[in-house]
Amino acid sequence: MSTKALDAQPKFAQIKQYIIDNIRAGTWHENQRVPSENELAEQFNVSRMTARRALSELTDTGILTRSQGLGTFVASFKSQSSLLEIKNIADEVRLRNGHYSCTVLSLESMAAVAPIAIALGVEVDSQVYRSVLIHNENDTPLQVEERFVNPTLAGDYLQQDFADFTPHEYLSHVAPLTEARHTVEAIMPSNEVCQWLGLFNEEPCLQVIRRTWSAEGIVSFARLISPGSKYRLGGHLTFKKKQP
């Protein structure tokens, strides 16, 4: 980023960009402590509150991690998705200032075999839609998504250009989600999945099986597979105190 463009940014955004640039350049490594609020405030001639905002926003997006009493550190270089809410993977990548892209491997109509029919609540051998996509971050495969979709709730699914937006974005628009259920497990990937993810050495992968509902019924059944070395699941819970 040019100096002129940097100067035009708000101060907290300049601090964020400074931190991101140091991480990308390899100046600051994984788990390395970054400057404190006081140090950043002095360096950028801003208030401590402004420096805190920059650190907090980068922590919220998973780029940094904070440890009370110890400081703020460069987070582990893994993507993080929440178990508590369904996030759009493209948004997650962009929040990390990464470049998101998608490779469409398959987009077709097929006869539903029994497990798929049961998962979608449709008749066996009825037509359902199937897509297989690779989600990339900075042109590196991050996740394989195989999704089966109920055509009665997303009739134009096969006509979409998922290079421009994700299936999650499209389905959220045409059949707003009201419920989701998922299971998470560690698996050893098949040779095909290894090829899709660019895995040259066998390593465990994280597999999420997810079904989603709208007010009209089951919308989709998806299998999401990510390399264990590049992805993790996490979440944050806030509990209300009991009233006396």
pLDDT tens-digit series, residues 114-131 = 888 888 988 889 999 999
Q: What percent of the chain is predicted at pLDDT more than 90?
A: 39
How confident is the model at residue 224, as a pLDDT? 92
How confident is the model at residue 13, as a pLDDT? 87
- Residues 142-151: pLDDT tens digits? 999 999 999 9
How confident is the model at residue 1, as a pLDDT? 46
Q: For the chain, which ranges sit under pLDDT 50? A: 1-6, 79-80, 83-84, 237
231/94 Cα distance (integer angstroms): 15
How confident is the model at residue 10, as a pLDDT? 83
**Entry pTM:** 0.64
218/216 Cα distance (integer angstroms): 7
How confident is the model at residue 243, as a pLDDT? 54
Give the start-to-end residue ranges of the domains of the chain: 3-74, 79-233
Cα–Cα distances in Å, from 203 out to 92, 187, 190, 193? 23, 9, 11, 11
**CATH classification of 3-74 is 3.30.428.10, yes or no?**
no
User: Which CATH superfamily includes the segment(s) 79-233?
Assistant: Chorismate lyase-like (3.40.1410.10)
How confident is the model at residue 85, as a pLDDT? 58
